[in-house]
A and B are shown apart, each in its own frame.
Chain A
């Protein structure tokens, strides 16, 4: 792992020497591995769970396609965010991940009354999880504003955060 100031935000030579920014090749390699892990966590496992529930005749308010699109988009953005962390693209990518997650949760919010009507049964159960989704929306909201602050920081003082993101 070697320092690669060229891939990072321009900064003073004195500061560059003190950072431990991984090389682009290293970040791409690790980012790819992370991407695979994200795909497993955000696409494979949720889709398997949705299919399992569907096999039990338990429909879920979110379709498999919506979950796949969200999972793939966020997995790619998260991997890209890792690779581009030393650059100015990091803040906007944080905002993009948060926005995608916010949209997904908002979609969940519109379907937050889960009606479970079992076929051939006289029992109908419905559960509303609107409050939980509203609280969950705080997560992408906070991360979105964290991305905004990082973007402002990178614009005002390029390279300032590298000292703390990649301590020597």
Chain B
């Protein structure tokens, strides 16, 4: 009897439809996520293999606010499907003994999907205020640079990259020596010597002041300098001391004046 009954397709009951809808929503979310993860992985691989490259090189020089400024740019291309958002780079520099010298942040920028962009990098290291910072002017030294790059990839993946590197720093007035010769009356010949180990020239004037042990200014004079990177400077000049002023056990203080400003070098003890 039942075999003779016509097959009637009726609408499923409400609970059945609810359960089926919930399962379908779950499957749709899962499929969309799988597609998203697959394309994200593909895009990440494309992004990594395209990698950053230097654009136009980096240049370093003294800046007006008593800093060394490093300027350059990095070119990035993003051949993937998703953008890189909020991309910023933070650089931190420590000297060989671990003393913090400076920190700088560049960005954030957006690296669009399927596009390319140039990321300008400007990094400044103070060279005044502390003995560690001032020593950068006269002492070659290894520096530790920590670079952090933070960005959000494909809208949902915060990514952080840290690169630690050791760099060698070449001082613009490396091995600075201020050597007074034997006095003749109140005239003292003073020899200034240094090497320019920086990759920028020393152009300007070096004002050298000779102070007594009590802090009294005995004499000062200017040395004209124009020393290219790698050059060695040595010049002797006579200083006329003030009457009754002795530089024995005193200090020599050199100030480098260039077109962009003045930089005080660490003071030198005199014999």
18 extra interface residue pairs, beta carbon distance < 8 Å, beyond A126-B161, A131-B156 = A14-B2, A18-B5, A122-B163, A123-B163, A124-B163, A126-B160, A127-B153, A128-B157, A131-B157, A135-B33, A139-B29, A141-B26, A142-B25, A143-B22, A153-B19, A160-B15, A164-B16, A168-B7
> Closest chain B residue to A165 by CB distance?
B16
For A157, the closest partner residue in chain B by CB is B13
Total chain A interface residues with beta-carbon distance under 8 A: 35
Interfacial chain B residues near A156, Cβ < 8 Å: 15
State whether the Cβ of B186 lies closer than 8 Å to any Cβ in chain A.
no
Report whether B23 and A146 are in contact in the complex, using a CB–CB cutoff of 8 Å. Answer: yes
Do most interface residues of chain A lie in helix, strand or loop, or is the interface mixed?
helix
Q: How far apart are A121's CB and chain B's nearest CB, in angstroms?
A: 9
Once A17-B2, A122-B165 are accepted as A-B contacts, the answer to whether A138 and B26 lie under 8 Å apart by CB is yes
| Contact of B19 with A160 in the complex, beta carbons under 8 Å | no
A153 cross-chain contacts in B, Cβ below 8 A: 13, 15-16, 19
Q: Which residue of B lies closest to A128 (CB)?
A: B158
Does A124 contact B26, Cβ atoms closer than 8 Å?
no
**Distance between B116 CB and nearest chain A CB, rounded to angstroms:** 22
- The answer to whether A149 touches B162, judged by C-beta atoms less than 8 angstroms apart, is no
Cα(A165)–Cα(B158), bound, Å: 43
Chain A residues within 8 Å of B, Cβ to Cβ: 13-14, 17-18, 122-129, 131-132, 135-136, 138-143, 145-147, 149-150, 152-153, 156-157, 160-161, 164, 168
Note all chain B residues with C-beta closer than 8 A to A152.
15
Best-surrounded residue of B2, B26, B29, B165 (most CB of chain A within 10 A) = B26
Q: Does A145 lie within 8 Å of B2, measured CB to CB?
A: no
Given A125-B160, A153-B13, A157-B13, CB of A132 within 8 Å of CB of B33? yes
Which residues of chain A are within 8 angstroms of B35 by Cβ–Cβ distance?
A: none
Q: A18-B7, A123-B161, A127-B157 are in contact. Are A142 and B15 (CB under 8 A)?
A: no
Rank and list the top 3 A-B pairs by shortest CB-CB distance, nearest first.
A146-B22, A142-B26, A153-B15
Residue tally, chain B, CB below 8 Å to A: 31
Query: With the chains together, A128 CA to B184 CA distance in Å?
Result: 73
Known: A123-B162, A126-B159, A160-B13. A150 touches B3 (CB 8 A): no
B52 at the interface (CB under 8 A from A): no
Chain B contacts for A126, CB-based, 8 A: 159-161
B20 vs chain A, min Cβ distance (A): 8
In this complex, what residue of B is CB-closest to A117? B162
Point out the residue from B22, B156, B164 that lies within 8 Å of A145, measured CB to CB. B22
Q: B residues bordering A, Cβ < 8 Å?
A: 2-3, 5, 7, 12-13, 15-16, 18-20, 22-23, 25-26, 29-30, 33, 36-37, 153, 156-165
The answer to whether B22 touches A149, judged by C-beta atoms less than 8 angstroms apart, is: yes
Chain B residues whose C-beta falls within 8 Å of the C-beta of A142 in the assembled complex:
22-23, 25-26, 29
- Contact among B12, B26, B159, B164 with A164 in the assembled complex (CB-CB below 8 Å): B12
Q: Which A residues are CB-close (under 8 A) to B30? A: 136, 139
Q: Are A150 and B19 in contact (CB under 8 A)?
A: yes
15 CB contacts below 8 A, A to B, read: A14-B2, A122-B163, A124-B162, A125-B161, A127-B160, A132-B36, A135-B29, A143-B22, A143-B23, A146-B20, A157-B13, A157-B15, A160-B15, A161-B12, A168-B7
